[in-house]
Structure 1
Amino acid sequence: MSRVLIRVLWLTLISGLALQGCTPPKPVRLGAPIEGYSHTSAAINRFSVNRGGGPNISPYSGGGKQNCCASLPVKWHPGLTVVVEWEKDPDPYASANWPPLGTDGYRAAYKLHAAKYTRHRAVVPVAQYEDLGIVNVHFLPCNQVAVSAGTTYPGRPDYPFHFPQKMQEPATCPES
C-alpha cells in the first residue's frame, strides 16, 4: 500500500471518530408539560410537580390548560414517584357574598378567607407509560392525588385512570 493511501485511510478513521463525539447523547430526563384536574368541589389555587408549576383549577374541572414543566425520565421505571405540592381553597365561591371589590371590606373578607386555604404535599407514584407526554395530575377527595405522564389522555380507553368528573368528599377520610 502506498503511503498516501495509508494516510487517507488514517485520516478517514480519525475524522470518523471525531465526528462521533459531535452526536449529542439521548436525554435521560425531559421537561414535560403539566395539566391538572380537580374532581372535587375545592379549587386548586396552585400546584407543582417536582417543583414545576401547574395551572390553577376550578372545582370539578381541568384539562386544556398547561404549564411548563416537570422533569421526568424519558422511560418509566418501577418505583417512579413525583412530589406534588398544592394549595386548596375549600370554599371557592365565598366571594359572591363579600363587599365590593377594591374596598377595605373586600380586603378584610379576602384575608379571612385566605386563612382557610390548606396546603398539602404528597409523594405520588406515576402510572406506567411507554413514552413521556403530558403530566396529568388528578386531585381527588381526601387530599389524594393520582399522576400519569404518558401520551394518552383522560377519556381514552388506554388512559390509566377513569375517575368521575365530580366526586364527593366522604364524611370522614381514611388516615393516610
Structure 2
Amino acid sequence: MTQPPRRLLLASCLLALLTACAGGSSSFSLIGAPVRVYDLTGKMDTILDAEFDFIDRMGAPGRGGEVCCASLPKKWYPGMIATVRWVKDPDASLLYPTDPDEFRAYIKKKRATYQRLSAQMELLPYTRTCGVTLVFLPCDQVRVTIDCDQEGPLISQWRQQAAAMKGKSCPNTP
C-alpha cells in the first residue's frame, strides 16, 4: 500500500482543523461579498484587473462592475490583513489602430508595458457590509472599504485626495 504524499496529509489535517474551528464559533462564520473597483487614478482604463485576496482570491474588472463573491468573516476582528493585486496600464489610451494586423501588433506591444502591482493592508472595521470596494488612487495607492456606512464618506474623501494629487509627480517608492 502506498503512503499519501506528506503535503496532502498536512493539507488534509489543516483543513480538518480549520473546519472544526469555524464550525465551533459563530464569530468565524463566513459571508460572501461582491467585489467592485473604483478607478480614481485620473485616466480611464488605467486599472485593467484587480484581485482581493483575504481567504480566497476574487478578481474584479478594472473597468467597473461587480463580481461575486469574496469570502469574509461575518464579524470584523483586529489584525485582518488582505492583499490587493492589480494590473495597471501606465499609458492608458482609448485610441487604437483600426487595421486588424496593426491592432494585434499594438496590443502585443501594449501588454508588454502593463505593470503588475500588489499591496497588503489592514482591513478597516466593519459591522454591516455591502461588499468589498477597491479604490485606486494616483501614485499606485489602493484603499479598501467593506462597511456600508463608511463607503460613501470614504470614497468622497478619497476622490478629494485624488483630485489634490492631479498633475503632481509621484514620490519614488522602493
Question: Is the pair's TM-score, using the shorter chain for normalization, greater than 0.5?
Answer: yes
User: Could you say which residue in structure 1 is the equivalent of 2:34?
Assistant: 33
Matches within 5 A, 1:22-171: 26=26, 28-42=29-43, 43-50=46-53, 51-57=57-63, 62=64, 65-93=65-93, 95-96=94-95, 98-101=96-99, 103-152=100-149, 154-156=151-153, 159=154, 162-164=157-159, 166=163, 167-168=165-166, 170-171=168-169
**Structure 1 pair 126–169 and aligned structure 2 pair: CA distance change class (3 A):** farther
Equivalent residue letter for 1:79: G
The Cα offsets for residues 33-92 of structure 1, whole Å up to 9 and x where unpaired, read as: 1111111135211111011111222xxxx5xx2111211111111111211111011222
User: Could you say which residue in structure 1 is the equivalent of 2:5?
Assistant: none
Equivalent residue of 2:70, what SS? strand
Equivalent residue of 1:171, what SS? coil
Per-residue deviation, 1:174: 4.5
The Cα offsets for residues 87-110 of structure 1, whole Å up to 9 and x where unpaired, read as: 0112221x51x4315x21111111
Equivalent residue letter for 1:28: S
8 A Cα contact 1:134 1:150, kept in partner: yes
Task: State TM-score, norm by structure 1.
Answer: 0.69
Equivalent residue of 1:92, what SS? coil
Per-residue deviation, 1:155: 3.2
Task: State TM-score, norm by structure 2.
Answer: 0.70
Q: Which runs of 5+ in 1 are unaligned?
A: 1-23
Q: Number of residue pairs matched?
A: 142
**Structure 1 pair 37–127 and aligned structure 2 pair: CA distance change class (3 A):** same
Instruction: Decide which structure has the larger Cα Rg and report it.
Output: 1
The Cα offsets for residues 8-36 of structure 1, whole Å up to 9 and x where unpaired, read as: xxxxxxxxxxxxxxxx9746222211111
User: Could you say which residue in structure 2 is the equivalent of 1:173?
Assistant: 171
Runs of 4+ with deviation above 3 angstroms: 24-27, 153-156
C-alpha distance in 1 between matches for 2:102 and 2:61: 29
C-alpha distance in 2 between matches for 1:41 and 1:89: 12
Equivalent residue letter for 1:44: I
Q: Which runs of 5+ in 2 are unaligned?
A: 1-23
* Identity of matched residues, %: 32
**Structure 1 pair 145–44 and aligned structure 2 pair: CA distance change class (3 A):** same
Structure with a larger share of its residues in helix: 2
The Cα offsets for residues 118-164 of structure 1, whole Å up to 9 and x where unpaired, read as: 001111221211123311111112211111111236434xx486112
Equivalent residue letter for 2:104: R
